[in-house]
Every structure is written in structure tokens, then in C-alpha cells.
A and B are shown apart, each in its own frame.
Chain A
Amino acid sequence: KAGVTQTPRYLIKTRGQQVTLSCSPISGHRSVSWYQQTPGQGLQFLFEYFSETQRNKGNFPGRFSGRQFSNSRSEMNVSTLELGDSALYLCASSLTGGNNEQFFGPGTRLTVL
């Protein structure tokens, strides 16, 4: 069964721009979570979507948003990019979220110049 895919894998943007990242979960998985990973900061939870609804949200500013489609694919958007947004953005899918095992995608490496 195909794993979690994320596109694009690498992205370079400049401050002030906006970006949209995409995540396709494993077939049958209805929960998609997004994480931001920076050196030394571990995995910072952004939000979780389940059945097209945002079910949990981390402590990130409103510039970070997301959505989930009926086929469980998810997108996250970051507007008005700042230098500090440079990070690896990981999405993870699971059957129903919560304490289910999470399957991570390869991530999107975002660099903001």
C-alpha cells in the first residue's frame, strides 16, 4: 500500500509570500496531522484534520491554516512568510487520529529567504 506523499519536497520562497503544501494520506486513513520541525525544536504540532474538520490546533499564528478534502487529502497554507517559517513540514496520517499509530510523509523542506 502506498505511503504518505507530500508535495512539493523542496520549496524556496521570499518573505511576505504565501505557500501551499499538499499531503496525500495512506488510503483509508481519515486523520491528517501537520507538524513543523526545526533543528532542536522537535516536532511542533500545527493542526489535525479528520473528516474534513479541524479537530485539534497547536499554538501557531493564524498565518498557518489548513484544510482537508473529501478524499482525505490535506493542504496547509502559510501566508505572509517570515524567515522563521523555514522548516521541514511533515504530515502524518492515521486511521482515526488520537492514539493511532501515525505514518509520516517525507516532508516538505521550506526555505524562506
Chain B
Amino acid sequence: GQQVMQIPQYQHVQEGEDFTTYCNSSTTLSNIQWYKQRPGGHPVFLIQLVKSGEVKKQKRLTFQFGEAKKNSSLHITATQTTDVGTYFCAPDRGSTLGRLYFGRGTQLTVWP
């Protein structure tokens, strides 16, 4: 099955510090999606990366897809308390009946 490792599992930062979570696959991916789940909430789609080496930005969030399309990262600059939550990557291998496999997520805590 899909081998996806997301690290770190937990990250505690002080407000204003940067944060990065990584998603690593053992196989080449067709694309990868990122989701955020706030405490007590449900996952919400953030972005999809498709191209090798792709970089996308959403305000303070920067998403990257590796050149080999086997890994991806989400970087948050100057974290805020509103960034608290669990960030999941969801890689897709692009098979005919492709489906998403979610990583275990990185739980981010931000201290004010």
C-alpha cells in the first residue's frame, strides 16, 4: 500500500516562529494535497500541488513539491495562534482509480 511518512508528529512553537511539516513518500506521486484540521473541527482543503518542483504560496503559507515528486513540505512563516491545528498531506499515486491516502498529520501548537 501507500507508504507516506509525515514529520514531525507534533510541533510546539511560540507565536512568531516559523513552522515546517514534511511529507515523504516511498513512491513517485501524481499530485499531493494538503489539509488543515482545527481542534474539534474537520479537515479543510488547503491546496493541491501537481508539477515537479512546484511552489505555491497562500499568505504566510508556502507549499513545495519535490523535484522527484516524492516529497512535499508546508512552511508557515511567523506563526499565529490561528494556525493551531493538525496539518495533513494527502498524496495520490495517480492510478486509474486514484484515491487519497492521508498522512498521520502534524499537530501544531502555538503559544502566545
Q: List A residues at the B interface (Cβ < 8 Å).
A: 33, 35, 40-43, 45, 48, 55-56, 59, 90, 92, 97-99, 101-107
Contacts and interface: CB of A to CB of B under 8 A. Distances in A.
Contact of A33 (B1, B44, B99): B99
Interface stretch (B60-68, B69-77, B90-98): B90-98
Contact of B30 (A45, A55, A99): A99
A43 to B, nearest CB: 4
A103 B92 contact: no
B88 interface: yes
B interface, by DSSP: helix, strand, loop or mixed?
loop
A103 B104 contact: no
Contacts of A55: 97, 99
A1 B41 CA distance: 19
A99 B98 contact: yes
Given A35-B102, A42-B105, A105-B42, A98 B97 contact: yes
Interface of B: 1, 9, 30-31, 33, 35, 41-45, 48, 88, 90, 92, 94, 97-105
A55 B90 CA distance: 18
Contacts of A101: 33, 45, 48
Contacts of B44: 104
